[in-house]
């Protein structure tokens, strides 16, 4: 009898602990305050979107501009956002893709979200056995808890969350990655980003579907940033490629001229296998729709495997390439 009573109390204790953990998790989600956004009415959307045509590939874009940025922050403002967006529209015009601005909204966000670390520090370095995209599919980047909470707080629920690009203005977004230091040693590097796209080729299934359209914008203050940053980050999202161009295989950073998807002054969205299928991948993006004659949005098919670089929706429009050793082969 005493043994049964003891087991009963142990069972009660286990149930109590599990209940506390479960409801604690629920409460933590409930405690994330949603930002109360309001649309900036002075923006002439009809004028900005005057080029939009029916039955033409279109990407919807919404912009969140916090109203409680620190007074010392001057890297992004409303005027810069509008200029940068218009520049992006112009860059995508030769590709026959139009950007449709849904709104620009403002509101007070939790100030701790003004500066975030985008993802957890990677634990597995890339070596010669896989190329960058294969490695990212196997070991996806993971949002930090704080970034995940920020997106939950900032991005408003919508039936088309997973189809919409959200440009989110913050003050600092840091991106950590691994790089060889010397010999067979890797070190952690952290880059201060001017824009970060959280692309599915990198995050794959680790980013919630409703947040996969998030892009952070933190610096449009230089002329080159104003001209290209928004277009470049949308490219990461919509073409679903890293920094690459023609015979340049993807890397975290590539500085050269010519292509939109490398660091420089270039704006080209190349096509064909030689151009790494950038145009073809863009036109297949799940973020793209066409409106039919009645005004209904006809969306491209969604990803079949969470949107890794080799997702089946791209068919033949992917480049197969070998991994390369970042250290001496005779290590």
Q: How far, in Å, CA of 287 to CA of 300, rounded?
A: 7
Tens-place pLDDT, residues 121-139: 999 999 999 999 999 999 9
The two structure tokens encoding residue 122: 């990677």
Strand pairing report for 214-217 and 195-196: antiparallel
Compute the Cα dihedral for 162, 267, 276, 174 and give only its sign: negative
Mean pLDDT, residues 212-228 taken together? 97
Percentage of residues in the chain with pLDDT exceeding 70?
91
Q: What pLDDT, on the 0 to 100 scale, is given for residue 30?
A: 52
The pLDDT assigned to 158 comes to 97
Token pair 């001496």 is found at 328
Q: What is the pLDDT of residues 51-95, one digit of tens each?
A: 999 999 999 999 999 999 999 999 999 999 999 999 999 999 999
The residues facing 166 across adjacent strands are 62, 214
What is the spatial distance between Cα 315 and Cα 271, in angstroms, rounded to a whole number?
15
Cβ–Cβ under 8 Å, residues 253 and 117: no
pLDDT for res 23: 46
206-211, long-range: CB < 8 A, 24+ apart:
206/140, 206/141, 206/142, 206/143, 207/143, 208/148, 208/151, 209/161, 209/162, 210/155, 210/157, 210/161, 210/162, 211/148, 211/151, 211/152, 211/155, 211/161
The answer to whether residue 190 scores a pLDDT higher than 70 is yes
Runs of H (alpha helix) within 69-125: 78-92
User: How far is the CA of 177 from the CAs of 180, 186, 298, in angstroms?
Assistant: 10, 10, 38
Model confidence, pTM: 0.90
Average pLDDT, the chain: 92
Query: pLDDT-derived band of residue 237, with 50, 70 and 90 as boundaries?
Result: very high
Within the chain, residue ranges assigned H as helices are 2-30, 45-48, 78-92, 132-138, 145-154, 200-203, 223-238, 278-283
- Residue 278 to residue 285: CA distance in whole angstroms: 11
Q: What pLDDT was estimated at residue 226? A: 97
How confident is the model at residue 31, as a pLDDT? 78
Domains of the chain: which residue ranges?
34-314
Pair type for strands 165-169 and 214-217: parallel
**pLDDT per residue as tens digits for the range 25-35:** 444 445 799 99
Between strands 248-251 and 243-245, the pairing is: antiparallel
- Residues 6 or more apart in contact with residue 110 via CB below 8 angstroms: 33, 35, 150, 153
pLDDT at 329: 85
Residue pLDDT, tens place only, 263-284:
999 999 999 999 999 999 999 9
* Residue 166: pLDDT over 80: yes
User: What is the structure's pLDDT at 55?
Assistant: 92
Listed in sequence order, the residues at least 6 apart from 273 whose beta carbon sits closer than 8 Å to its beta carbon are 319
Q: Average pLDDT, stretch 163-178?
A: 98
φ, ψ (nearest 5 deg) of residue 237: -75, -50
Return the pLDDT at 27.
Answer: 43
Looking at residue 70, the DSSP 8-state letter turns out to be -
Output the furthest CA–CA distance in the chain (Å, rounded): 82
Q: Is 157 helix (H, G, I), strand (E, B) or coil?
A: coil
Q: How many CA atoms lie within 13 A of 292 on its CB side?
A: 6
- pLDDT exceeds 50 at position 177: yes
Match 């490398």 to its residue by tokens: 262
């Amino acid at each position: 009898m005493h043994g049964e009573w003891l087991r009963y109390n142990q069972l009660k204790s286990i149930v109590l602990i599990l209940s506390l953990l479960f409801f604690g998790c629920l409460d933590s989600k409930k405690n994330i305050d949603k930002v109360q956004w309001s649309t900036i009415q002075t923006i002439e959307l009809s004028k900005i979107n005057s080029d939009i045509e029916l039955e033409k590939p279109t990407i919807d874009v919404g912009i969140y501009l916090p109203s409680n940025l620190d007074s010392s922050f001057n890297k992004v403002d409303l005027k810069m956002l509008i200029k940068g967006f218009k520049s992006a529209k112009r860059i995508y015009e030769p590709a026959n893709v139009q950007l449709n601005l849904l709104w620009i909204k403002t509101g007070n966000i939790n100030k701790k979200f003004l500066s975030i670390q985008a993802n957890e520090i990677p634990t597995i370095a890339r070596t010669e056995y896989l190329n960058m995209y294969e490695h990212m599919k196997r070991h996806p980047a993971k949002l930090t808890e704080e970034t995940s909470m920020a997106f939950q707080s900032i991005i408003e629920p919508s039936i088309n969350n997973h189809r919409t690009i959200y440009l989110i203005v913050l003050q600092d977004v840091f991106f950590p990655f691994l790089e060889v230091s010397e010999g067979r040693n890797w070190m952690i590097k952290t880059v201060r980003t001017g824009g970060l796209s959280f692309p599915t080729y990198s995050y794959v299934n680790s980013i919630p579907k409703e947040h996969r359209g998030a892009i952070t914008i933190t610096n449009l203050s230089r002329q080159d940033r104003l001209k290209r940053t928004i277009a470049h980050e949308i490219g990461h999202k919509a073409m679903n490629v890293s920094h690459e161009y023609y015979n340049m295989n993807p890397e975290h950073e590539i500085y050269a001229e010519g292509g939109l998807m490398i660091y420089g002054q270039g704006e080209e969205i190349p096509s064909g296998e030689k151009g790494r299928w950038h145009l073809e991948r863009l036109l297949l993006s799940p973020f793209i729709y066409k409106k039919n004659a009645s005004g209904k949005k006809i969306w491209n098919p969604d990803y079949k495997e969470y949107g890794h670089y080799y997702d089946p929706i791209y068919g033949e429009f992917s480049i197969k390439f070998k991994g390369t050793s970042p250290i001496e082969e005779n290590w």
